[in-house]
Amino acid sequence: ASEAEEKDLVIIGGGVAGYVAAIKAGQSGMKVTCIEKRGALGGTCLNVGCIPSKSLLNNSHLYHQILHDTKNRGIEVGDVKLNLGAMMKAKETSVSGLTKGIEFLFKKNNVEYIKGTGAFQDEHTVAVNLVEGGETTVRGKNILIATGSEATPFPGLTIDEKKVITSTGAIALQEVPKKMVVIGGGIIGLEMGSVWSRLGAEVTVVEYLGQIGGPGMDADVAKQAQKLLQKQGMKFKLNTKVTAGDAGGEGVKINVEAAKGGKEETLDADVVLVAIGRRPYTNGLGLENIGLEVDERGRVIIDQEYRTKIPHIRAIGDVTFGPMLAHKAEEESVAVVEYMAKGYGHVNYGAIPSVMYTHPEVAWVGQNEQELKAANVKYNVGQFPFSANSRAKTNLDTEGFVKMISDAETDRILGIHIIGPNAGEMIAEGVLALEYGASSEDVARTSHAHPTLSEAFKEAAMATYDKAVHY
C-alpha cells in the first residue's frame, strides 16, 4: 500500500462483514483496502465456523444414518468404518476452496488485500503489522471496523483446544473422545455436540437455563429438539450451572450444581467444550488511540447508520449489536456501503432467520410465542406435523413440525418456527413472507408443489387462519 494514497474505504477484518463490504465497495467504484490478520479471508464463518461445522455436520449425519437408518430402506451395508482424518480433509477442502474464491472476487472487484493486523493510529490512519513481517500504514476517508468476535472463556478453565476446547478445537479433534462435556446448550453446543455424539462420543450438555437452543428458540421447538437429540444419544443437564473445572489430571473434572443452588456433582470428561456464547473482538485495535468506547458487553457503539461517534468510522457484524450471524453481517455490509455511497441503506432486523443445523434442523424467523405473550400481543397459532406430510413420509424422515404465529386481528405473520428435515432451506419462504408483510392466508392460498416438505409450511398456514387439510 502506498502511504500517500488515501483510500475511499479501509476495512479492518476480512470476515463475512468485511469481505462482503469490500466487494460491494469495489463494485460501487470505491478505492478499497481490506486488512485481515489470519492469513486467509472469510473470517470465523469460513475458516472455523459456519463452513467447517456444516461439513462435519453433514458427513457425521451420513455416517450415523448409514449405521442406524438403512435396513428399513432396503439397503444392506457391510462394515462401516469412520476415517476421521479423511472427514477432516473433506472439511478442509470445502474451506480452502471458499476462502480462495474470495481472493479471486477481491481481484475481480479491485479490492486491495493486506495480510496483517490493523490498529488505529489516528482517525484516518491504520497501522498494519504485516503477517510476513514489517509494517505499513493505510489512510482512509472512511474506515470500517469488522473485527468480529471470539469465544467467551469460562473462568478457571484454560482453553488449550485439545482437552478444553472452544468450537475451534471442536472442528479439529484428532480422535473421537470417549466422554465429552459441553458447557452451554446453545447453538454451538448442540451442533458440535451432535457431531461428536454421532461419531461415537458420550456427550453430556450442561445448560444453565431450563431450555436448550440459546436465545430466540420457541419453547415448543426447544422441547422437541431436546427429545430428538436425546433419542440420538445426547444427555442433558438443564437448570444446572458449572461451578468449577479442573483440567490438571488426565481428563477433565467438571463440578456442577443445580442453578438455584443445591445438589453438587462431578462430571468426568476426556474433552470439555466451552460454548457459553461469543463476545466482540477489539483486542489490539487501538480504539483508545481515537477515543472510541465499547459498551458493557464489548460491542462497538454505533447509530442506525453504523456510525461510531467519529462519523467516518463505522462498525458492522459480530463486533457490534445484533445477532452474531453471518447472514446478518452480510446484510449490514451491503447497507453500510450504500450509506457511504448513496446516503441510505436498509436492513430489516425483524426478518433475520436463525438455523440450527442438527438433524432434524431447527429454523425460525420473527417472534416466538413466549416473546409475544410477554408483549401482550394476541395471536393465532397453526401447527402441522411432518408425520402428516407426504414427502417426509416417503423419505422416512417425519420428525418435527411447522408452527406459524399470526396476529389475531390482522392475520399478519409474526413468527415461523420449524423443526424438521430441511428446515433451514424452508425458512427462506417464511423470511420472504415476513419481509412482504404476508398474512397466513396469503401463504395458505399460494400453490406449493406436491410432494414436497414445503407443503407442511402451507398446511401450517392453513391451520393458522382456518384448518389444515391433511391433519
Return residues touching ligand FAD (CB under 6 A). Answer: 12-18, 35-38, 43-45, 49-50, 53, 117-118, 146-149, 167, 188, 281, 284-285, 317-319, 324-327, 329
DSSP annotation of 246: E
Comparing CB distances to ligand NAI, the nearer of 313 and 363 is: 363
Min separation Cβ 68 and ligand NAI, Å? 24
Of 318, 333, 320, 306, residue with least CA distance to 148: 318
Q: Which is nearer to ligand NAI, 153 or 233 (CB)?
A: 153
Residue 469 CB: number of other CB atoms within 10 A?
13
Nearer to ligand FAD, 36 or 399 (CB): 36
Among ligand FAD, ligand NAI, none, the one that 415 touches (CB under a kind-dependent 5 to 8 A) is none
Residue 450 burial class via C-beta count within 10 angstroms: exposed 0-12, middle 13-18, buried 19 and up: exposed
Q: Is-catalytic flag, 448?
A: no
Q: Which amino acid is at 263?
A: K
Binding of ligand NAI at residue 187 (CB under 6 A)? yes
Phi, psi angle pair for 310, to nearest 5°: -100, 105
Answer for the pair 46, 98: CB distance below 8 angstroms, yes or no: yes
Give the strand pairing for 149-151 and 278-280: antiparallel
Measured between alpha carbons, how far is 169 from 158 in angstroms, rounded to an integer? Answer: 13
User: Shortest gap between Cβ of 128 and ligand FAD (angstroms)?
Assistant: 8
| β-bridge mates for residue 240, sequence order | 258
Do residues 91 and 52 touch, judged by C-beta distance below 8 A?
A: yes
Given a contact cutoff of 8 angstroms between Cβ atoms, the answer to whether 275 and 192 are in contact is: yes
Q: Least distance to ligand FAD from the beta carbon of 244, Å?
A: 25
- The full 3-state SS of 77-143, as one line of letters, equals CCCCCCCHHHHHHHHHHHHHHHHHHHHHHHHHCCEEEEEEEEEEEECCEEEEEECCCCEEEEEEEEE
In the complex, what is the shortest distance from the CB of residue 316 to ligand FAD, in angstroms, rounded to a whole number? Answer: 7
Q: Which of 241, 253, 412, 448 binds ligand NAI (CB under 6 A)?
A: 241
Does 188 engage in binding with ligand NAI (CB under 6 A)?
yes
| Contacts with 68 (C-beta within 8 Å, 6 or more apart), sequence order | none
- The C-alpha cell of 282 is what? 477489539
Nearer to ligand NAI, 298 or 323 (CB): 323
Instruction: Give whichever of 152 and 390 is closer to ligand FAD, judged by the CB atom.
Output: 152
Instruction: Select 316 or 438, whichever has its Cβ closest to ligand FAD.
Output: 316
Which residue in the shown chain puts its C-beta closest to ligand NAI?
A: 186
Please say which residue, 365 or 444, places its beta carbon nearer to ligand FAD: 365
Of all helices (H) and strands (E), which one includes residue 337?
helix 326-342
Half-sphere exposure for 176 (CA within 13 Å, toward CB): 19
Is residue 164 near ligand NAI by the rule CB under 6 A? no
Find the binding residues for ligand NAI in span 335-394 (CB under 6 A).
355-357
* The entry of ligand NAI, ligand FAD, none that residue 183 binds, CB within 5 to 8 Å by partner kind: ligand NAI
Shortest Cβ 149–ligand NAI spacing (Å) = 8
- The interface partner of residue 186, options being ligand NAI, ligand FAD, none and the CB cut-off 5 to 8 Å by kind, is ligand NAI
Closest CA to 234 of 171, 191, 282: 191
Binding range to ligand NAI, per CB under 6 A, among 56-64, 174-182, 187-195, 295-303: 187-195
Rounded to whole angstroms, the Cα distance separating 162 from 245 reads 15
**Which residues lie below 8 Å from residue 4, measured CB to CB, with a gap of 6+?**
none
Catalytic pick from 61, 64, 124, 450?
A: 450
Whole-number Å distance between alpha carbons of 61 and 334? 34
Contact 236, 204 (CB under 8 A): yes
With CB under 5 to 8 Å by kind, the binding choice for 43 among ligand NAI, ligand FAD, none is: ligand FAD
Binding to ligand NAI, residues 194-223 (CB under 6 A)? 206-209, 214-215
**What does the alpha-carbon distance between residue 422 and residue 258 come to, in Å, rounded to a whole number?**
35
Site size for ligand NAI (CB under 6 A): 26
Q: Minimal distance in Å, beta carbon 410 to ligand NAI?
A: 30
Q: Name the binder of 189 from ligand FAD, ligand NAI, none, CB < 5-8 A by kind.
A: ligand NAI
CB of 51 to ligand NAI, least distance (A): 11
Of the candidate residues 128, 203, 234, 324, the single one contacting ligand NAI (CB under 6 A): 324
Binding track, positions 263-282, relative to ligand NAI; x by CB under 6 A:
------------xxxx----
Task: Give 62's contacts (C-beta < 8 A, 6+ positions apart).
Answer: none
Catalytic residues: 450
- The binding site for ligand NAI (CB under 6 A) comprises 183-189, 191, 206-209, 214-215, 241-242, 275-278, 323-325, 355-357
